[in-house]
Amino acid sequence: MTFPLSRQKEWLVLVPAMTVPFIAALFYFHLFSDQPVAKFIYVAVKLFNLSWPLIGSYLFITAWIPSFSMRDFRHRRAIPLGLLSGLMIVAIMVLGLATPIGQAVSSSAGRIREKVAEVGIMDHYILFSIFLSFFHSLLEEYYWRWFVFGNLCQLIRPIWANLLSALAFASHHVIVLHEYFPLRWALFFGASVAVGGVIWNTMYTKQRTLAGAWVSHLMVDLGIMTIGYVILFVP
């Protein structure tokens, strides 16, 4: 029989979950981005993302453990909304390129090329895009939606759990974005990531499955990487 630990101990599990990705991004994408140790830190934090929810789930009872069988109709029923929401977000991104956002992206094109070359993905951009869009998005949904948000809902009101987990989700993205854009734009795009987190948290709550949020997240990442491809490789 499993007994939940105290709320204080639950926070001891969740606080690292919400802060380690941000701290790691400072090191692998900013302080040591041009050094070999950056790749080690990146791999280490992704292993943390994979393993910490399993460790935390062993230490205390999570909100609920979803079924991962495709026989569960919830997964299939969630996919159309995931596709629709993902397409809408990508459409907003593309339309945004006709606003000052597009000028900010164009102005940072040189820095984007420089940074992509520095981290060593220029020659493997398409493969990296596939990995990021299909697999890394699933890892993030498992980590941020199922584990962080799902368990925060057991500790604080769902609305605050939604906002707090979305901000934590966006925090390490701000570090990454600031390497490409000036701070004001990094914060703007980071806030957009937080809005995405709120949307996907809400989908997860309503649908009781990661499938819809993952499909939406996957399509958004594909959209971002496609825009990146145009910036990097299209004359």
**Whole-angstrom Cα distance, residue 210 to residue 149?**
12
What is the rounded average pLDDT of the residues 136-142? 95
pLDDT per residue over 60-96, tens digit each? 655 555 545 555 677 888 999 999 999 999 999 999 9
What is the rounded average pLDDT of the residues 2-22? 81
**Whole-angstrom Cα distance, residue 69 to residue 64?**
15
At 160, the pLDDT band (50, 70, 90 cuts) reads very high
Residues 170, 158 contacting (CB under 8 angstroms): no
Q: Cα dist. 235→50, 100, 125, 202 in Å?
A: 39, 21, 16, 40
For residue 71, what pLDDT is reported? 58
Residues 47, 24 contacting (CB under 8 angstroms): no
Nearest to 209 by CA among 54, 61, 72, 85: 72
pLDDT per residue over 104-116, tens digit each? 999 999 999 988 8
For the record, the structure tokens of 18 come out as 């919400």
For residue 64, what pLDDT is reported? 52
